[in-house]
Structure 1
């Protein structure tokens, strides 16, 4: 995976969050998949379970005033054919473009049988820490 391919993938992924297109978000992943953070890991066996998770995350983002997501790929490594480790810097902004929160995330992507890149693993420590530092931890009802 080239840097340009990774940036294209994550541009589409961030655009899906901005558009609140949960189907496009879950289509960017392969199943089962895993999202891990320092305190816990969450395995999603199928598309439906992941859809429920990102829909809940979207509700949290809406309550925080998020209107736009962007992601800048910082680094790509392809340790094996068809496997990429991608570091992405995210930023979420309100409708006026003011930054709400930013953080880094590391993903592992795999090329599927049709040749498409799909995420299968993410380390969410950066996002968890960013929201906690803002005083609105992930999962907060506010």
Structure 2
């Protein structure tokens, strides 16, 4: 399978976990420690802290009227053996399938027993919610 196909399959499972509100399953798709560079400062979270973060993030989305997440891989490339970069477009749909918010997101993945997210750049997401007056 191509790297694009591999990464698309991985994010299919990622979005599925997100849509099932399965914070534990979602956090298992991350390295033991995930890195989060952001405009306000960089930070890292261990898996258990990230799981708790996912619970809060899913609640935040529900409060914004999101009932279903959708993501599409725009690009994926292997940077080094077992290290890939992926750019996705996310769309958060409301009750009537309207788009509540949309943004692009960049991920760095590493493959050990499977692909896992090591780092994400969420500037697009933060800007999309800020434009709506909602702060993550």
- Scaled by the length of structure 2, the TM-score of the pair is 0.94
For residues 65 and 132 of structure 1, the distance between their equivalents in structure 2, rounded to whole angstroms, comes to: 15
For 2:40, the equivalent position in structure 1 comes to 39
For residues 23 and 30 of structure 1, the distance between their equivalents in structure 2, rounded to whole angstroms, comes to: 13
DSSP 3-state at the match of 1:52 = helix
For 1:9, the equivalent position in structure 2 comes to 10
For 2:98, the equivalent position in structure 1 comes to 98
DSSP 3-state at the match of 1:137 = coil
Offset of 1:119 from its aligned partner? 0.4
DSSP 3-state at the match of 1:78 = strand
Q: Hey, which bits of structure 1, 4+ residues long, moved more than 4 A?
A: none
Aligned-residue CA RMSD (Å) = 1.1
Unpaired segments ≥5 residues, structure 1: none
Pairing 1:68–2:68 present: yes
Pairing 1:77–2:83 present: no
DSSP 3-state at the match of 1:65 = coil
Is the 8 Å Cα contact of residues 65 and 94 (structure 1) preserved in structure 2?
Answer: yes
Is the 8 Å Cα contact of residues 23 and 52 (structure 2) preserved in structure 1?
Answer: no
- Scaled by the length of structure 1, the TM-score of the pair is 0.90
> Could you report, residue by residue, the CA deviation over 1:13-64 in whole angstroms, capped at 9, with x for unpaired residues?
11211111101110110111111211122201x2211111111111111111
Unpaired segments ≥5 residues, structure 2: none
For 1:59, the equivalent position in structure 2 comes to 59
Offset of 1:125 from its aligned partner? 0.2
Offset of 1:65 from its aligned partner? 1.2
